[in-house]
Structure 1
Amino acid sequence: MHLPHLITFQHVGSSEYGFLDIAEVDKNIPFEIKRIFWTHSVPNGIKRGYHAHKKTKQILIAIEGSITVTTEMPDGTRKVFELKNSTQGIYLPPHVWHVMEYQDNAVQIVFCSELFSETDYLRSYIDYKNYYK
């Protein structure tokens, strides 16, 4: 089972003209992207997520602001990631319980390996722990 980890994106440009950060399938995106969504206008300190996916792989990127992502694997291993700029993202394989806390007017974009399916979600922490027993 793969573990959550940070991915660095190519960052080009200058403060004079602006910057471009690059994500490419088969280079730093380890799956075909089938769905993209973004979150915005989330009040500071709000936590979202509180779920895991059975099949979907994701990459989360803080385009603006900062997002603290807490992950937990089925074996109980926890890790905390700080996303503070668009040059890094976190890869979330399937089976990872994750909670995101938004700060500084965060804008998040998420690349997904699968189309939305409610049956792919484990939305209760108790169900998550029981599913992987």
Structure 2
Amino acid sequence: MEHCRKIDLPKIQDSRGNLTFLEGDAHIPFDIKRVYYLYDVPGGSDRGAHAHRNLHQFMIAMSGSFDLVLSDGVKEQRFHLNRSYFGIYICPMMWRYLDNFSSGAVCLVLASERYDEMDYIRDHDQFLKEAAQLR
């Protein structure tokens, strides 16, 4: 859990509007190979509820807000994302889910690898077994 953390991104303020940028292997600890985003999530819904064996991710609230809950199988931590100039780095073997989406929320996810279904752990009991083996 100690490797997962909030990362502040550069914020260039200007009277015409602010600009934030990020670069893989500079602002976040991996090279970006895939980008996807979640939007139009109905009120009361949650997303995620899985872990990745090898994938690194960085999650940003581009608009609106939502909560990200991470668990290493022992400890759990909730992050509230509500600004586009910081995000949460998610290391491999973290169970995650997102909830508490505001109306119009957009969640941007940067990933270290292309989509690979074999990297997913979708059963929580299986995740707990694999996580315990890593301790």
TM-score w.r.t. the length of structure 1 is 0.92
Is structure 2 residue 6 aligned with structure 1 residue 11? Answer: no
The one-letter amino acid of 2:56's match is K
Is structure 2 residue 55 aligned with structure 1 residue 56? Answer: yes
Is structure 2 residue 24 aligned with structure 1 residue 33? Answer: no
Aligned residues: CA RMSD = 1.4
The one-letter amino acid of 2:3's match is L
Mind listing any 5+ residue stretches in structure 1 that lack a counterpart? none
How far did residue 2 of structure 1 move? Answer: 5.3
Q: 1:105 is paired with a residue of what secondary structure?
A: coil
How far did residue 45 of structure 1 move? Answer: 2.8
Distance 1:89 1:62 in 2: 7
For each residue in 1:82-129, what CA deviation from the matched residue of structure 2 results, as whole angstroms up to 9, or x when unmatched?
A: 101101100000000001112232101100001100000001111111
Question: Does structure 1 retain, via aligned residues, the 8 Å contact 2:72–2:131?
Answer: no
Aligned length: 131
Distance 1:2 1:95 in 2: 12
Q: 2:93 is paired with a residue of what secondary structure?
A: coil
Mind listing any 5+ residue stretches in structure 2 that lack a counterpart? none
Question: Does structure 2 retain, via aligned residues, the 8 Å contact 1:64–1:86?
Answer: yes
Q: 1:60 is paired with a residue of what secondary structure?
A: strand
Is structure 2 residue 92 aligned with structure 1 residue 94? Answer: yes
Q: 1:18 is paired with a residue of what secondary structure?
A: coil
TM-score w.r.t. the length of structure 2 is 0.91
Distance 1:128 1:56 in 2: 14
Structure 1 counterpart of 2:76: 78
How far did residue 132 of structure 1 move? Answer: 2.3
Question: Does structure 2 retain, via aligned residues, the 8 Å contact 1:37–1:111?
Answer: yes
Distance 2:11 2:43 in 1: 27
How far did residue 38 of structure 1 move? Answer: 0.7
Q: More deviation in 43-52 or 87-96?
A: 43-52
Distance 1:105 1:73 in 2: 30
Question: Does structure 1 retain, via aligned residues, the 8 Å contact 2:55–2:113?
Answer: yes
Q: 2:26 is paired with a residue of what secondary structure?
A: coil
